[in-house]
Amino acid sequence: MKLSYKRTFFVGLAFMSISAFWQMYDSITPLILKNVFGLGDTLQGAIMAVDNVLALFMLPLFGMLSDATKSPLGRRMPYILGGTAGALVFMAMVPAAVMSGSFVFFCVVLGLLLLTMATYRSPAVALMPDVTPKPLRSKGNAVINLMGALGGVVTLALLSKLTPESASRNYFPIFLSVMAFMAVCILVLLWRVKEPEMVRQMHEESAAAGVDPDENAAEEPEAPAKAAPMAPDVKRSLVLILLSVFLWFMGYNAVITHFSKYVQVYWGIEGGGFANILMVATVSAVVSYLPAGFIASKIGRKKTILGGVLLLAAAFGAAVFFPGFTPLIFVFFALAGVGWATINVNSYPMVVEMSRGSDVGKYTGYYYTFSMAAQIVTPILSGAVLEFLGYAYLFPYGCLFVALSFFTMLTVRHGDSRPTPPADGLEVFEDM
């Protein structure tokens, strides 16, 4: 059994588009709130948590709705196409709201944009396991994350050139550029991805490899009228890995949310200088995603994740000792990118490994519920830390929560798949 890289690449365009948006949102919105509207760090953190409050409820909801959807385009594609179209409309309105100087107008438009984005993230992510047999999902998720990271790289390149100085209110260039990129991704997705046909291909591949199609099925949402209850030990592993997801997102998201401000306030670097540093982490992740999937197929997902957690915690911990900018920061962020890639590639497949094919959307919702719950709490909590204790505490905060996730992950006992090494060394290049 081997992964169809071509199929997974085109499916990954949805996540590439989403990741391009969130890279811009996480970097630009704190600067707008601070430089245009003059908000404090704690209040900024509360506003940055709004999208995750929406996601906490909407991601599981739309994951389950897409599980039950029937359409000529498939289960997930209607949400992806409709959600992206709505998001592009509201994205065009955000820089106009900033230019107007009206905080109320800005909040209304931003809220509508976040609401629209939350409608299709779970369906977009669930599309990969829908068309990929279980034993190959770590490799498939590696490709999806690679696509997402490439979307982030594109946005960071745009941010490095188009981020306005702190006194400017003109955010039209960066928003319009990211909108154009997202639109291209989705148009190619619509052209090349025929979801029902890809699901049928997955069934055939699973059957040929002796994998029970019912355990991977995504074609008939109503097939399992009543799912068997989850065994207690499996449920315990599910809870522990979801708790681990919560903890490492508590640490990682705090750094990402506040880093653009951190660079301006603590290091005194104006404009888009922060994007060049983040790009190092993102490029490192791009290089690491596929190897992380292959390593997991050899030694298991859990061991691979634990190694990534240690690497990420070490990178954040090392950055604590540098109160000013130094070229070594690029090294630390490169290590952080590798660590985050190995975590991301394998954690989501561990969660959906415990599901049935017809429940993939629901388990995708569980995964994002915990990651989004962390991203509700951590912008506010870390914002208060920065406001009342100082910006020097950003990296210690991130390091602490990532380190805690190591101990919860250590006790997970389920979610690994049996290694499926390629038949020969050239298999990775087949079907490109």
Above 90 in pLDDT, residue 345? no
Chain-wide mean pLDDT for the chain? Answer: 87
Above 90 in pLDDT, residue 59? no
- Tens-digit pLDDT profile for residues 131-151: 888 778 778 877 887 898 899
Looking at residue 217, its pLDDT comes to: 39
Above 50 in pLDDT, residue 432? no
The whole-angstrom separation of Cα 294 and Cα 275 is: 29
Looking at residue 356, its pLDDT comes to: 65
Q: How many CB atoms lie within 10 A of CB 118?
A: 24
Q: Which residue has the higher pLDDT, 345 or 214?
A: 345
> Which residues have a Cβ under 8 Å from the Cβ of 158 and sit 6 or more positions away?
24, 174, 177, 178, 181
Looking at the domain assignment, is residue 425 inside a domain?
Answer: no
Looking at the domain assignment, is residue 271 inside a domain?
Answer: yes
Looking at the domain assignment, is residue 164 inside a domain?
Answer: yes
Where in the sequence is the domain holding 360, given as residue range(s)?
5-213+231-417
User: Residue type at 397?
Assistant: Y
pLDDT band at 427 (very low <50, low <70, confident <90, very high): very low
Q: What is the mean pLDDT of residues 410-427?
A: 61
Q: Which helix (H) or strand (E) holds 54?
A: helix 50-67
Least confident of 53-62, 223-232, 352-361, 383-392: 223-232
Residue 421, Cβ density class (10 Å: 0-12 exposed, 13-18 middle, ≥19 buried): exposed
The whole-angstrom separation of Cα 226 and Cα 107 is: 43
Write down the pTM of the prediction: 0.79
> Which residues have a Cβ under 8 Å from the Cβ of 337 and sit 6 or more positions away?
280, 281, 282, 283, 284, 285, 288
Our CA angle for 401, 395, 261, nearest 5°, is: 120
Pick from 109, 117, 19, 145: nearest CA to 59: 117
Above 70 in pLDDT, residue 420? no
Question: Which token pair is 166?
Answer: 């702190």
Looking at the domain assignment, is residue 411 inside a domain?
Answer: yes
Q: Which residue has the higher pLDDT, 324 or 405?
A: 405
Looking at residue 96, its pLDDT comes to: 96
Least confident of 125-134, 166-175, 373-382: 125-134
Q: What is the mean pLDDT of residues 207-222?
A: 53
Least confident of 21-35, 205-219, 235-249: 205-219
Looking at residue 426, its pLDDT comes to: 32
Q: What is the CATH number of the domain that holds 35?
A: 1.20.1250.20
Above 80 in pLDDT, residue 423? no
Q: What is the mean pLDDT of residues 42-66?
A: 88
Looking at residue 100, its pLDDT comes to: 95
Looking at the domain assignment, is residue 225 inside a domain?
Answer: no
Q: Which residue has the higher pLDDT, 286 or 229?
A: 286
The whole-angstrom separation of Cα 45 and Cα 394 is: 13
* Half-sphere CA count of 409, side-chain side, radius 13 A: 27
* Domain count across the chain: 1
Least confident of 112-126, 132-146, 236-250, 280-294: 132-146
The whole-angstrom separation of Cα 29 and Cα 52 is: 14
Looking at residue 36, its pLDDT comes to: 94
Q: Which residue has the higher pLDDT, 32 or 422?
A: 32
- Tens-digit pLDDT profile for residues 243-266: 999 999 999 999 999 999 999 888
- Tens-digit pLDDT profile for residues 309-339: 999 999 999 998 888 888 899 999 999 999 9
Looking at residue 107, its pLDDT comes to: 96
Looking at residue 353, its pLDDT comes to: 82
Looking at residue 418, its pLDDT comes to: 52
pLDDT band at 430 (very low <50, low <70, confident <90, very high): very low
Looking at the domain assignment, is residue 432 inside a domain?
Answer: no
Looking at the domain assignment, is residue 209 inside a domain?
Answer: yes
Above 80 in pLDDT, residue 167? no
User: Residue type at 161?
Assistant: K
Q: What is the mean pLDDT of residues 376-384?
A: 95
Looking at the domain assignment, is residue 224 inside a domain?
Answer: no
- Tens-digit pLDDT profile for residues 29-42: 999 999 999 999 99
> Which residues have a Cβ under 8 Å from the Cβ of 405 and sit 6 or more positions away?
244, 245, 247, 248, 251, 309
